[in-house]
Chain A
């Protein structure tokens, strides 16, 4: 059993213009000591899934379980004690830290008020213990993010869900935080669900990666094999779009089109209108997420259950399908 387990989760938002299905049946699990990266373009549902994971938004179907117990939707009441060990860190620590309270008091909220413990937690995230007496505005963006993490750690969590924790930080601050996250996962046997649009960092930090597109998981698996040989054309496109600072002067590949409106998802495979390899079947039948060799999963008609992941282009050429075939 994984520490955090999301199974066939559906998240709906109800607005004046009807219902939008932000997450349309997605599963993932986070084990202790493991870092799971969740990637995808904006609008793919990754933040909604993260919020569902901690009970910040209600789920319409499926289940979310933390250490074997269902995660209920958060209410105004205090969280049940057993859910306190499931923590969330947001993108902008400036909006989640109270500007008028000292760092120490905010970290102490979760640490039972012990001053020694607060100092310990601050040192654990790479700050000095005397940071406790200061206020959030006295710190840089990266340091504030570490304060937010120290506060989450105060609850002695088993799993932390981090929503874009590295966004809007400079490269050096990102590197520090990425190192911190890997270290915490190992040393504290902590499960981390890392939602990020920065694929290069996810590649470095995550043990496993889940790729989401328009509310569905399209691929997941151990990070390096997935990176070296993406099975889903969408993962392939995401990876090809990451720029490298190698000075070689090659422009990253653009993925034409945009994430479609989730209230009117395309027929068949949701990715087919943007997929260079789409063929007849993709237009009408939605591919299920199938298990491939090496602990990988992909939802693409080009892959075969139980086989190793094949590069979509090669497989499409073999099948003589898709727009790329000459």
Chain B
């Protein structure tokens, strides 16, 4: 059974320019032990769609659709209950662990406070659990780490601490939003390996949001490509990355430097820029940048339909067969 089932998720945010649609009907589900990768350029709605699940959207946001998590609908439950679930059964880590770690409290205090609050452990049991968690994320010398403060750790170690806190209550779902974007590649590889081990050992479901398809390539089981608030392609990692069917997915992959390319060959940039919310083109939102555009693309939003073993939202499907 799925850990999470999102159906027709819609988010509208209030901006100085009026109310704008950020997420426009998104469906996906995540299985236990699975890494579901979410990719897309900045402004594609990938982060907002996750914040919506946790009730972390700014004041005035309008959310529609459903997000079934166990027996609950995350989008319909009272705020207080959502707060109890999030951080416990469903946890999130961010790009910059500084935003989720308190700068003035020791690592030990933050970890023990968290497990005492959510699990009702006593002081000694909470401390033992804290050490166990830091060992779990392979932080060197966990006992000494308890007395230190976030700024005394490197970016990679801070991210490990943030993951330890997220794991404290043995969540079923971890949402990781660009968790390695600010890190060196050497450290990034370590965090990806950590996430991979955690999902295998604990059957943890992970939603990994990133703009870097390379990051997804090593770890994601399935990949969803977001564009302008919608999913345009969703399928198995190898299908989507090796045989992309949507012109946008194809363009994202072609823009990356790869070892076979010589210096004399230019990288293939996608013409234009991603649309800003509130100015989403009619029809297929990608049509102004798409080399395969036809009349129907301008007129109608393509539905996300099953095609072979994947879901695809493209009228033209130029890479079929």
Q: Which residues of A contact B (CB under 8 A)?
A: 41-43, 140, 142-143, 170-176, 178-179, 182, 197, 199-201, 203-205, 207, 223, 227, 237-238, 241-256, 258
Contact = CB atoms under 8 A, between A and B. Distances in A.
Contacts of A143: 273
B241 A247 contact: yes
B309 interface: no
A31 to B, nearest CB: 16
Nearest to B184: A41
A176 B188 contact: no
Interface of B: 41-42, 154-157, 184-190, 192-193, 196, 211-219, 237-242, 251-253, 255-259, 261, 263, 266-270, 273-274
Contacts of A182: 263, 266
Contact of B185 (A178, A203, A245, A252): A252
A259 to B, nearest CB: 8
A205 B253 CA distance: 18
A178 B256 CA distance: 11
Contacts of B241: 245-247
Contacts of B218: 243, 249-252
A41 B186 contact: yes
Contacts, number: 142
Contacts of A205: 263
Q: By CB atoms of chain B within 10 A, which of A172, A223, A227, A244 has the most? A: A172
Contact of B187 (A41, A199, A207, A227): A41
Contacts of A253: 189
A249 B261 CA distance: 21
B242 A247 contact: yes
A181 B139 CA distance: 40
A230 B215 CA distance: 23
B279 to A, nearest CB: 13
A255 B252 contact: no
Nearest to A178: B267
A252 B242 contact: no
A200 B185 CA distance: 11
A203 B259 contact: yes
B219 to A, nearest CB: 6
Contacts of A43: 154
B269 A175 contact: yes
Contacts of B154: 43, 258
Contacts of B196: 251
12 contacts: A175-B268, A176-B269, A197-B185, A200-B214, A241-B185, A242-B214, A244-B259, A245-B217, A250-B218, A251-B218, A254-B186, A254-B190
Nearest to A202: B257
Given A175-B269, A205-B263, A249-B237, A244 B189 contact: no
A171 B263 contact: no
Contact of A241 (B188, B242, B256, B261): B188
Contacts of A174: 255, 267
A172 B188 contact: no
Q: By CB atoms of chain A within 10 A, which of B186, B239, B273 has the most? A: B186
Ranked 7 nearest A-B pairs via Cβ: A247-B241, A243-B214, A175-B267, A204-B257, A255-B186, A254-B190, A245-B213
B232 to A, nearest CB: 15
A244 B269 contact: no
Contacts of B252: 171-172
Given A41-B187, A200-B256, A243 B267 contact: no
Nearest to A126: B269
A213 B237 CA distance: 35
Q: By CB atoms of chain A within 10 A, which of B238, B241, B273 has the most? A: B273
A129 B273 CA distance: 18
B256 to A, nearest CB: 6
B269 A247 contact: no
A179 B186 CA distance: 26
A168 B241 CA distance: 22
A252 B189 contact: yes
Contacts of B186: 41, 237-238, 241, 254-255
